[in-house]
């Protein structure tokens, strides 16, 4: 199966570049988080709130991954230390950021001035799970209107997540979402994941997320 072999080679090559990215980030003491979700689950909102809340504590850079457009980069521009936009285009293999895109973006970031790098992946619950970028932690956002069956239907992205964020809790009274069933599914796939229930709109539950980020950055700095 030639095609399968090529895919395998692509994934292995990606791992090599991802390791190189992490070494570079470690050298400059930058902690990187890869933020993944379906379209419209709230990646940009999470990043905007995090930038605002942690401005006094951390210098944060953003890499924005999108198929097309620069709307997200424009939104975060004024709040981040630096922003790089990556447009992946419309080819089938462009349904995710890959490590080589991050390697290129890192050249445009002032790494010595940055503590935290938030990478907003392309809106997709499938492809990004296969491609590591060199990040230290992986975050998946699932939002209430998407329904409680997403871990069952898109398991791999939840299996590898360090954090699962349940966003849009403000819509809880207006949608059918069995939160116990959701927690149970995530626990079945990934018992170690931290799960935070939040609303990026109202700020509900966000302090636990901010504390987790600060703690991770601190622990990483101690390690290096």
* Of residues 164 and 217, the one with the C-beta less far from a second copy: 164
69 token code pair = 């457009």
39 vs 110 by CB, closer to a second copy: 39
Rounded to a whole number of angstroms, the minimum distance from the CB of residue 74 to a second copy is 11
> 174-211 burial string, b = 16+ CB within 10 Å, else e?
eeebeeeebbebbeebbeebebbbbbbeeeebbeebee
Q: Closer CB to a second copy, residue 58 or residue 144?
A: 144
- Nearest distance from C-beta of residue 133 to a second copy, angstroms: 14
Structure tokens at 6: 């090529």
- Give the β-pairing of 137-143 and 163-167: parallel
Least distance between a second copy and beta carbon 83 (Å): 16
HSE, side-chain direction, 13 A CA sphere, residue 52: 12
Beta strands across the sheet bearing 137-143? 82-87, 60-66, 116-120, 31-37, 137-143, 163-167, 194-197
The residue assigned the tokens 């949608």 is 175
* Minimum CB–partner distance for residue 220 and a second copy (Å): 29
Closest contact distance (angstroms) between CB of 188 and a second copy is 13
Binding site for a second copy (CB under 8 A): 3-4, 6-7, 10-11, 38-41, 66-69, 71-72, 90-96, 122-127, 129-131, 143-147, 149-150, 152-156, 168, 170-171, 174-175
- What letters, b where the CB count within 10 A reaches 16 and e where it falls short, cover 13-48? ebeebbebbbebbbebebbbbbbbbbeebbbbbbbb
* C-beta of 5 vs 191, nearer to a second copy: 5
Closest contact distance (angstroms) between CB of 204 and a second copy is 14
């Amino acid at each position: 199966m030639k095609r399968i072999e090529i895919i395998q080679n692509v994934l292995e090559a990606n791992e090599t570049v991802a390791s190189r990215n992490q070494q570079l980030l470690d050298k400059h003491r930058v902690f990187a988080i890869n933020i993944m979700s379906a379209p419209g689950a709230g990646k940009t909102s999470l990043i905007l709130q995090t930038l605002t809340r942690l401005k006094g504590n951390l210098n944060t850079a953003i890499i924005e991954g999108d198929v097309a457009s620069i709307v997200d980069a424009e939104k975060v521009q004024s709040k981040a230390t630096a922003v790089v936009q990556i447009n992946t285009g419309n080819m089938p293999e462009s349904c995710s950021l890959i490590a080589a895109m991050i390697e290129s973006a890192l050249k445009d970031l002032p790494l010595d001035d940055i503590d935290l790098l938030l990478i907003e992946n392309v809106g997709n619950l499938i492809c990004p799970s296969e491609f590591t970028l060199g990040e230290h932690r992986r975050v998946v956002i699932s939002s209430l209107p998407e329904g409680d069956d997403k871990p069952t239907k898109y398991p791999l992205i939840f299996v590898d997540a360090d954090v699962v964020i349940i966003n849009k809790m403000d819509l809880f009274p207006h949608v059918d979402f069995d939160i116990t069933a959701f927690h149970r599914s995530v626990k079945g796939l990934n018992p170690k994941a931290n799960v935070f229930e939040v609303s990026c709109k109202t700020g509900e539950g966000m302090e636990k997320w901010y504390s987790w980020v600060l703690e991770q950055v601190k622990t990483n700095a101690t390690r290096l």
